Structure 1
């Protein structure tokens, strides 16, 4: 399934790149947008032996137009919660956890390209990601079960395709993505499809004010 998604993303990127040589993008020119999304993260492959989907996944990101506004930077924070079944014993704890709760926080530093069709925009992005994986652990002390969390650093990649539509003062959009970790969870590779819907709003003026505060003009 991940191979099919990668092929689709590459095909979509090729189409976007060819379009990027033509019409001007009037919506994103010199703009910074804030995107907040919510939805699902769906583990795939052997990841499903450890993790299963749980409502809700979330994301917060910035859409920063480059000099050619058909290209953009997309730094984003993803927050995933999963049901968790521990498969490998941890010598520090005397119990395995079943039906626990695990969380993953990943910062993606992606870039992409988009195509404007009046008020409708399609886009594709990709880039590295890194963050924290929190896995629950259980220790029984007499009549009390103490729950701790084992935290580990993860490195991976995030790619996605999506579309949004501009209303008067905001965009409504959705995206389908794929995240892969190069580190493992309970000895299993981490693969997940992400399906997110949300709103995108213009924060260009706020960004300009921040720049003025940090680096005031000499006039």
Structure 2
């Protein structure tokens, strides 16, 4: 299944990249947009032996148009919550965790291409990601069970495809993505499909104000 998802996303990247070579993008020219999304993160493959989905996943990121607005940078923070079943013994703790709560926080530094069709935009993106994985642990202290969290650093990649539609003052959109960690979770690879819906709003003037405060000579 993971190979099929990777192949499908690679095909969509190729199609979108070929479309991005022609046509004009008037919506994103010299613009910075803020995107906030919510939805689900669905573990796949052997990841499902450890994690199962919980409501809700969330994301927040910036859509920063490059000199050619068909291409953009997409730094984004992803926050995922999962139900957690411990598979490997931790010698520092007395018990295994079943139906616990685990969290994944990943910062993705992606780039992508898009195609404008009047008010409708389609896009693809991909790039490296890194962040923290928080796993629960249980220790029995007399009549009390103490819950701790084991936090580890994770490195991975995030790719996705999506579309949004521009209304008068905001965009409404959704995207489907795939995240993989190159580090393992409980001896299993981490793979998840993300489904997110949300709003995108123009913060270009806010960005210009920040630049003016930090480095006023840069805009003169």
TM-score (norm 1): 0.98
Q: CA RMSD in A?
A: 1.0
- 1:145 maps to 145
**Residue 55 (structure 1) aligns with:** 55
Is the aligned partner of 1:98 residue 2:98? Answer: yes
- 2:14 is aligned to 14
Q: Deviations over 1:108-148 (max 9, x none)?
A: 00000000000000000000000000000000000000000
Residues in 2 aligned to 1:163 and 1:39: alpha-carbon distance in whole angstroms: 15
* Residue of structure 2 in register with 1:193 after alignment: 193
What's 2:5 paired with? 5
The offset of 1:9, in angstroms, is 1.7
Q: Alignment partner of 1:217: what SS?
A: helix
What is the alpha-carbon distance in structure 1 between the residues aligned to residue 210 and residue 144 of structure 2?
50
SS across alignment from 1:212: helix
Tell me which residue corresponds to 1:69.
69
Question: What is the DSSP-based 3-state SS (H/G/I as helix, E as strand, rest coil) of the residue aligned with 2:97?
Answer: coil
Separation in structure 2 between the aligned mates of residue 3 and residue 122 of structure 1, nearest angstrom: 23
Shift of 1:161: 0.4
User: For the residues of structure 1 that align with 2:4 and 2:152, how far apart are their CA atoms?
Assistant: 29
In 2: Cα distance, 1:130 partner to 1:215 partner:
29
- In the TM superposition, residue 18 of structure 1 has moved relative to its aligned partner by 1.6
C-alpha contact 1:2 1:178 (8 A) present in aligned 2: no
In structure 1, list runs of 5 or more residues that go unmatched: none
Aligned-pair CA distance for 1:104? 0.4
Q: What is aligned with 1:216?
A: 216
Residue 2 (structure 1) shift: 2.0
Alignment partner of 1:118 is 2:118 = yes
Residue 2 of structure 2 contacts residue 45 of structure 2 at CA under 8 Å; is this kept in 1?
Answer: no
Unmatched 5+ residue regions in structure 2?
Answer: none
For the residue of structure 1 that corresponds to 2:216, the secondary structure is coil
SS at match of 1:46: helix
Name the CA distance, whole Å, in 1 between partners of 2:103 and 2:6: 25
Quote the offset at 1:60 in angstroms. Answer: 0.3
- Residue 94 of structure 2 aligns to a residue in which SS? coil
Q: Which residues of 2 match residues 32-47 of structure 1 at below 5 A?
A: 32-47=32-47
Structure 1 residue 7, shift from structure 2 partner = 1.8
Structure 2-normalised TM-score?
0.98
* Cα shift at 1:36: 0.2
